[in-house]
């Protein structure tokens, strides 16, 4: 099992514990004919499609095509797009694509950017501080 698969499973368990129903998409992204997120969640009030990344680096780049595919799926499915990044030694942080910096070809998420965190029984909330 690869690092990304382990991270996705860890996140799925955290999401269940936070009150969300969770579906993981095996071989999401490049291995699929149609775009779909790595994880699809709902708590009855809000639904999200989440593309996940795991990194030991301080910056994560997600291609604009990958984010466009996520947004296309979420629009058709009726859920909100979210990027989930697990930075080694710090845990998960979540970003709506429109809150990310962009480069010519990518969305950029840095380890020191304030995003959303998961709170058990509450769901997503803004990070207090870094």
Backbone angles phi, psi at 20, to 5 degrees: -100, 145
What does each of the 130 residues of the chain score in pLDDT, given as a tens digit? 566 678 888 899 989 988 899 999 866 555 567 788 999 999 999 999 999 998 999 899 999 999 999 999 999 999 999 999 999 888 899 999 999 999 999 999 988 877 878 777 667 878 766 5
The pLDDT assigned to 27 comes to 60
Give the residue numbers marked as catalytic: 28
The pLDDT assigned to 126 comes to 81
Expressed in percent and rounded to 5, the helix, strand and coil fractions of the chain are 25, 40, 35
Return left, alpha or beta for 128; rule: phi > 0 is left, psi -120 to 50 is alpha, else beta. Answer: alpha
pTM score over 0.95: no
The pLDDT assigned to 68 comes to 95
Instruction: Classify 3-126 by CATH class.
Output: alpha beta
The pLDDT assigned to 35 comes to 82
């Amino acid at each position: 099992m690869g690092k990304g698969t382990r991270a996705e499973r860890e996140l799925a368990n955290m999401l269940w514990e936070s009150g969300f129903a969770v579906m993981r998409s095996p071989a999401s992204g490049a291995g699929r004919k149609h775009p779909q997120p790595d994880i699809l969640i709902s708590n009855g009030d809000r639904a999200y499609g989440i593309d996940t990344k795991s990194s030991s680096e301080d910056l994560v780049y997600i291609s604009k095509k990958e984010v466009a595919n996520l947004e296309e799926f979420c629009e058709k499915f009726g859920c909100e797009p979210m990027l989930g990044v697990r930075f080694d030694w710090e845990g998960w942080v979540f970003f709506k694509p429109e809150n990310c910096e962009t480069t010519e070809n990518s969305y950029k998420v840095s380890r020191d950017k304030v995003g959303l965190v998961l709170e058990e029984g509450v769901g997503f909330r803004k990070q207090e501080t870094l």
